[in-house]
Amino acid sequence: MRGLFVTGTGTGVGKTVLAAALMLRLRGRTPLRYSKPIQTGIEQDDDTEEVRRLARCPVEEILEDGVRLRGPVSPHLAARRAGITVDLRSLQERMTSFAGVWIVEGAGGLLVPVSGSRTMADLIKLLGLPVVIAAASGLGTINHTLLTLEALRARALRIAGVVMIGEPDADNREAVEHYGKIGVLGEMPRFDPLTPETLADWAVANLDPQDRLREFLA
């Protein structure tokens, strides 16, 4: 599989908005498809619909299929309450037929449990995709981002870069790059309002302006 897996330093950090921004940034050079393989809290959150709205995705850019669970809780708990077991292999199999570039969004952060001893990191390993980390820009992000990088490296998962979300903070960016030995691909401000237009304008001009993602998508 080709593409990027969008994880975050936590939940609510901006993975969905970043996934939409990546669609907007990469559109046109290759066929794209977004997938949210595991969505919890489906009665209140539908990241697939949000990406479709923000990136104005045509039907062929969206994989509808995936595990959809009620309750805004961790996948392992939502699955247990629903009496099902999430099978990572079958999620992967649904994604093998498309040869373009996938933008896959995780649920929560990297070590969120999915079922048994399996976590989001195991799904990433199975899919074999390089990871883009959505991180907050403000206080606390250095620790959260370095922990995520360390956990990715401990599992030999490829890291494409970090995107910082919120009020740009040059000191935090520099610290993440220096201590994390990783490139920051962009600093996404808070959009008010957040619309397809404001996001597209930013993504085209400011998300990975140096085209560092290219090598990960070859």
Ligand X SMILES: Nc1ncnc2c1ncn2[C@@H]1O[C@H](COP(=O)(O)OP(=O)(O)O)[C@@H](O)[C@H]1O
Which residue, 43 or 174, has its beta carbon nearer to Mg ion?
43
Selected range binding ligand X among 63-71, 81-89, 184-192, 207-215, rule: CB under 6 A: 184-192
Q: Which of 203, 191, 192 is nearest to 22 (CA)?
A: 203
Which residue, 40 or 115, has its beta carbon nearer to ligand X?
40
Q: How far is the CB of 145 from Mg ion (least distance, A)?
A: 18
Residue 11, interface with ligand X (CB under 6 A)?
Answer: yes
Cα separations in angstroms, 31 against 60, 61, 117, 208 = 9, 8, 34, 18
Q: How far is the CB of 45 from ligand X (least distance, A)?
A: 7
| Options 188, 200, 203, 213; binder of ligand X; rule CB under 6 A | 188
Q: Does the active-site annotation cover 181?
A: no
Which residue, 17 or 129, has its beta carbon nearer to ligand X?
17
Which residue, 15 or 52, has its beta carbon nearer to Mg ion?
15
Looking at residue 27, the DSSP 8-state letter turns out to be B
Residue with tokens 């959505």: 134
Site string for ligand X, 89-128 (x = CB under 6 A): ----------------------------------------
Catalytic residue among 15, 36, 125, 181: 36
Q: Which of 186, 129, 171, 122 is nearest to 151 (CA)?
A: 122
Which residue, 16 or 172, has its beta carbon nearer to ligand X?
16
Residue 3, interface with ligand X (CB under 6 A)?
Answer: no
Out of ligand X, Mg ion, none, what residue 61 binds, judged by CB under 5 to 8 A for its kind, is none
Spatial contact of 109 and 10, defined as CB atoms under 8 Å apart? yes
Using H for helix, E for strand and C for coil, what is the string for 49-67? HHHHHHCCCCHHHEECCCE
| Options 101, 129, 149, 165; binder of ligand X; rule CB under 6 A | 165
Secondary structure (3-state) at 9 = coil
Element (DSSP H or E) covering residue 39: strand 38-39
Angle at CA of residue 113, ends 107 and 116, nearest 5°:
140
Cα separations in angstroms, 182 against 88, 95, 131 = 28, 28, 12
- The residues that are catalytic are 36
User: Residues in the site for ligand X, rule: CB under 6 A?
Assistant: 8, 11-17, 47, 134, 165, 188, 190-191, 194
